[in-house]
Chain A
């Protein structure tokens, strides 16, 4: 158990809909990272938050947004969903901004029909 909790584990929705994925980091970790794993693109970094502030941005679509709340949990919002958004979405946490190992959640599997 990594200590990182992601919900929901599975989500099935329709094109055009909006979903929210939630991540609770390991106790004491200030950084939260979101990654997308799709069959054709593999793992890709989406975005990083550190102590409530956006720290780094990767290949995140404009239809996607994220935030980190004062209690350090984070949410990834995916809107106007397309079939190609079907993927595993992972959250990871680490203590600092760029140090140490990453602790991954179990992932949220999103299926867009």
Chain B
């Protein structure tokens, strides 16, 4: 069964800390998405990547295809980063039929 595992499930950090969220998947993929879901429920796409590394502001996403693993890093974390971060993968040529991880709930305390 194709699976996506995220860790940790819950994470509490102090403002300013460097944060890492991990995503592992079971078989080869064509793309991996990192999504952010705020308490109000809305979902924002942060990154889509299939290799290497992408950076946007304080957010960095990396992927290691051989190890079937991706990480989302947040530098200089801020309370407004508090949200659920969700990893989703597209298997092979399954269009944009995504399989989602269970999410990591992040709380950044001031």
Contact = CB atoms under 8 A, between A and B. Distances in A.
Nearest to A96: B96
- Binding site secondary structure of chain A: strand
A2 B100 contact: no
B110 to A, nearest CB: 27
Interface stretch (B42-50, B61-69, B73-81): B42-50
Interface string B74-100: 000000000000101010011111111
Contacts of A42: 100, 102-103
Contacts of A94: 96
Given A98-B90, A101-B33, A58 B97 contact: yes
B52 interface: no
B57 interface: no
A43 B96 contact: no
B17 to A, nearest CB: 26
A107 B96 contact: no
Nearest to A44: B100
Given A42-B102, A43-B88, A104 B43 contact: yes
- Binding site secondary structure of chain B: strand
B39 interface: no
* B43, B47, B100, B103 interface centre (most CB from chain A within 10 Å): B43
Interface residues of A, number: 25
A29 B44 CA distance: 16
A56 B94 contact: yes
Contacts of A100: 48
A102 B93 contact: no
Nearest to B46: A101
A31 B43 CA distance: 17
A33 B96 contact: yes
A43 B86 contact: yes
- Return the 5 tightest CB-CB contacts between A and B, nearest first: A43-B100, A104-B43, A56-B95, A101-B45, A98-B95
Interface of B: 30, 33, 35, 40-45, 47-48, 86, 88, 90, 93-100, 102-103
